[in-house]
Amino acid sequence: MPIEDVENIGRYRPEGYHPIVIGDRLHDRYDIVHKLGFGSYSTTWLARDIERKKYVAIKISISEVNLHESKILKSLSRPDPNVKGQLGNALVISILDKFRPDGPNGKHKCFVTEPGMMSLAETKYASYTRLFQLPVARAIMAQVIQAIVFLHHRGIVHADLHTGNIVLRLLESIDSLSPEQLYEQYGRPNLEPIVRLDNQALPIGVPSQGAVPIWLGKASEQVTLSEAKIFLTDFGESFQPSTTRRHYSNTPAILVPPEVYFLPQEPVSFPADIWTLTCTLWDIVGQRPLFEGLNPSQDWMIKEHVDTLGKLPPPDWWRVWDARQIWFTEGVKRTSERSRRSLADRFINSVQEPRQEHMVESIAEDEKACLLTQSKAMLEFRPHERPTAAEIMESEWMVNWALPELAKQD
């Protein structure tokens, strides 16, 4: 039987997950104290580094999987002699150690990183308001832009940017806690016994208990400016356009840029990140996502783009979009204006009204105008017409609102 909030136990098999039990010591150095999470290809654990006396995250892949992510992170960790300082490097999760344990299910690749407190998606999900305080939102948005500038300068497209892949850093004060003190503050591991339905003994490669991941976070409105320090994670979809031609997007459907639909023969590149960056920034400052849809089709998303931006795609794109007649007349008018929501409408619905309703600081008109202008530019249909990440870094909103807020963290 499946166990709620625990990985698929059936994947503990040869060439599958590596069995871990709370209390295990890995690599003669890392004591497993809790679970942080899991995915289809790995489990991630909170461990105490007995040499450095710090907590770390250990990601353990399924047996013999080629961790593309580790290669990307390794390339990012190399210093760039052409850049003074490595500001963006601190905003990308870095590998602290690597090792390959043998286990009953095979050989596994492990890499050790800084542990995160929670993703932005998780902290919003834990909140009733689903909002960050405005100074916190500005500081987080500034760091996300800086991180994308760094990635693009190093020739890498993240290709899966969203709030689930942006993590708030764990406060350094946690390192002063012993495992027992950690349990007192955050709770002991919730362990569920694993049993076979036929009551036979478990295979050697299956752990005796499943561990529910620990919750180290807090609701979004409770995050303070000093806590609003982030790093990007999950580089499993990332690639270098100089060496890899990518013609698809595996981001959530509401974030897929339009060139994926209309230019299937053209490789995806840095402008795709700019489109998803816009959506991600919106999600950080607002309560609802910019584009919406429940398991949306490609046609629904194109309709969302047209409605939001208030303009049609380029003529050569428009002509090949057969589904346009569902929502538009041949005279290129909306068949029903009642359901159309422009970018300005969505800003009111997603950002301003929820902030006013929950008595969270809203955005003044001058800042709103700059944000909308920046968003429109980043959402140009044709990818080459969008600003680069470096240009966004120098935008009026970034210079006058985001960076000054970020500077207050120091």
* Pair (284, 198) in one structural domain: no
**Residue that is last in its domain, among 155, 185, 215:** 215
pLDDT digits (tens, 9 = 90+) for 155-195: 999 999 999 999 999 988 899 999 999 999 999 999 999 99
Q: Is residue 323 part of a domain?
A: yes
pLDDT tens figures, 244-287: 999 999 999 999 999 999 999 999 999 999 999 999 999 999 99
Buried b (16+ CB within 10 A) or exposed e, 262-293: bbeeeebbbbbbbbbbbbbbbbbbbbebbbee
Q: Is residue 355 part of a domain?
A: yes
**Domain span at 9:** 1-77+94-114+172-215
Asked if 317 and 192 sit in the same domain, the reply is: no
Do residue 260 and residue 320 come from a single domain?
yes
Q: Are residues 341 and 389 in the same domain?
A: yes
At 199-222, the pLDDT tens digits run: 899 999 999 999 999 999 999 999
Q: Which of 356, 295, 119 is nearest to 223 (CA)?
A: 119
Task: Give yes or no: residues 196 and 333 share one domain.
Answer: no
Domain boundary, last residue among 215, 247, 275 = 215
230 and 123 co-located in one domain:
yes
Same domain, 30 and 140: no
Please state the separation of Cα 226 from the chain's center in Å: 20
Q: What is the CATH number of the domain that holds 135?
A: 1.10.510.10
Q: What is the pLDDT of residue 40?
A: 83
Structure confidence by residue, pLDDT tens digits, 79-98: 776 655 456 678 998 899 99
Residue 305 lies in a domain: yes
Query: CB neighbours (10 Å) of residue 336?
Result: 7
82 is a domain residue? no
Domain endpoint, select from 182, 215, 248: 215
Residue 88 lies in a domain: no
187: number of Cβ within 10 Å = 12
Same domain, 362 and 404: yes
Q: Are residues 144 and 232 in the same domain?
A: yes
Co-location of 367 and 382 in the same domain: yes
Average pLDDT over the chain reads 92
Q: Vertex 272, ends 384 and 242: CA angle to 5°?
A: 80
Q: Could you give the number of structural domains in the chain? A: 2
- Identity of residue 35: K
Could you list the residues known to form a binding site for ATP, using ranges. 59
Tokens for 389?
A: 């990440």
How many residues are there in the chain?
A: 410
113-127, 175-189, 330-344, 376-390, range with the lowest pLDDT: 330-344
CATH code for position 36: 3.30.200.20
What sections of 263-339 are H helices per DSSP? Answer: 270-285, 298-309, 315-320, 324-327
